[in-house]
Amino acid sequence: MHKNPLFNPQGDDTVANRSIIKGNCTGLFNLNDVKYSWAKSMYQVMVGNFWVPEKVGGLADDAIMYKSLTANEQRAYKGIISFLTFLDSIQTVNLPSYAEYITSSEVNLLISIQAFQEAIHSQSYTTILETVIEAREREEIYYFWRDDEVLLHRNTYIGQIYQDFKDFPSDENFFRSLIANYLLESLYFYNGFAFFDTLVYHSKMTATGRMIGYIRRDELTHVTLFANILKEIRKEFPEMFNEQIVYDMFATAVDQEITWTDHILGNSIPGINEETTTQYTRWLANQRLERLHMDPLYPEVVSTPYAHLEKIQDTNSEKTNFFESTVVNYTQSSSMNGSWDF
């Protein structure tokens, strides 16, 4: 893998000669002349999804409601926020690394938008903590991963894969990093999201749930983006796409997600237990593999135990179904119509 030159006057931007990586482009952004039509549609959706946490009201009410949560619910609330904060922080920093090697300007434009959105998500978690949690607890939450062995192990796993690519940008490390990114966006967040949805289902912490709804909406576009990048790599550079690596990394990620969720939630949250966590995580892994046109890792798992949470995930009363493969824009982006192949 070789980094793209910042300035490349001899680049060739003709669509016929363009490729997702290892191309020779000038770097010019021109959404009227794209090779990957899905990228143009996604640009409209991602820009239309703009939001800021200050506009999501009701967190002061959550601060009052938080005091009535059980001790186990409070521990889970804080632990999951800590994990999500770390994930979006590392995403914000790492995403520009991909843009140095992807030679499709329209795809790099989407990665830039995603990096901005990850920064907004990190700000959102800070806003939640500063509003809901007492000041004396915040530092401990931010650095919970330093003292929690389970969380440190999984943060280290994803962080090391990213670091390996930055230090040794080989084809294999690039591919592994893309899969790690896809897993982070499509699998690592979602038991945490299910916890917040479950609280809202029981009429608890509704403003936090609303914030999570906006974050999830963004994350689904990120899942789509990297699924499409991976599919283009498989089409244009089939020698790079190693299915065994994908399956091995998925299996590891599923085990880590189940272990972490059981660790932070246990059987203490009504509606969530070790059985539902295992079923949901494996079901979701199958769904994400299907998006890559790959066979399921857990063919015996064919349904989600959290189907009753679908309406909770419809934040602005427009159709946004987390359990489906498409996202329909919310109020702020209703004037911009976009669709893409997933």
Structure confidence by residue, pLDDT tens digits, 148-174:
899 999 889 999 999 999 999 999 999
Beta-carbon contacts of residue 106 (< 8 Å; ≥ 6 apart): 29, 30, 31, 34, 35, 36, 39, 40, 43
**Separation of first and last alpha carbons in the chain:** 26
Architecture label for domain 39-333: Orthogonal Bundle (1.10)
| Mean pLDDT, the chain, whole residue set | 88
Q: Which helix (H) or strand (E) holds 288?
A: helix 274-291
- The token duo for 101 is 């090697």
Once rounded to an integer, what is the mean pLDDT over residues 91-103?
Answer: 93
Structure confidence by residue, pLDDT tens digits, 111-121:
999 999 999 99
Read off the amino acid at residue 313.
Q
For the entire predicted model, the pTM comes to 0.89
- The token duo for 311 is 């309406």
Going by pLDDT thresholds of 50, 70 and 90, the confidence category of residue 74 is: very high
Domain boundaries, the chain: 39-333
Give the pLDDT of residue 314. Answer: 55
Locus of tokens 């608890």: 204
Between residues 236 and 17, the one the model is more confident about: 236
- SS3 of 33-60: CCCCHHHHHHHHHHHHCCCCHHHCCCHH
Give the pLDDT of residue 322. Answer: 30
What are the φ and ψ backbone dihedral angles of 3, each rounded to 5 degrees? -65, 150
Please report the DSSP string for 143-199 in residue order.
THHHH-HHHHHHHHHHHHHHHHHHHS--HHHHHHHHHHHHHIIIIITHHHHHHHHHH
By annotation, the residues acting in catalysis are 125
The residue among 271, 266, 251, 141 whose CA lies nearest residue 196 is 271
Beta-carbon contacts of residue 292 (< 8 Å; ≥ 6 apart): 227, 230, 231, 234, 246
